[in-house]
Amino acid sequence: MTLGVKISARAAAQIRRAAAWWAENRLSAPGAIANDFEECVALLAEQPGIGSKYSGTRAGQVRRLYMGRVGYFIYYRATSDTLEVLALWHASRGHQPRL
């Protein structure tokens, strides 16, 4: 069963900022953020358990999936019918997102 996808307002803003930066600064692959994010979310909607468990939050059972080509993590949680994307966070940052 494929889960419905919900993207939090915070995650949507992070995705827009990352995609804009990437399009401006990575001219050889300007759509990489959008493409990789869409592919990963489609995969997560089918198999939400593939991400690693993230224990740095009180927001319930949060997982994260690393998007290797672009260096971002997708932070999410899944219920029986919904995949909720909570954040998009670059791996090079010195801290994790507040969830």
Q: Taking the CB of residue 5, how many other CB atoms lie within 10 A of it? A: 14
**Alpha-carbon separation of residue 97 from 21, 22, 23, 30 (angstroms):** 19, 20, 23, 25
How far is the C-alpha of 9 from the C-alpha of 1, rounded, in Å? 25
The model's pTM is 0.91
Model confidence pLDDT, tens digit, residues 57-75: 676 789 999 999 899 999 9
In the prediction, which pLDDT does 59 show? 65
In the prediction, which pLDDT does 7 show? 97
Mean pLDDT of the chain: 91
Backbone torsion region of residue 58, taken as left when φ is above 0, otherwise alpha when ψ lies between -120 and 50, otherwise beta: alpha
Catalogue all structural domains in the chain, each as residue range(s) with its CATH number: 4-90 (3.30.2310.20)
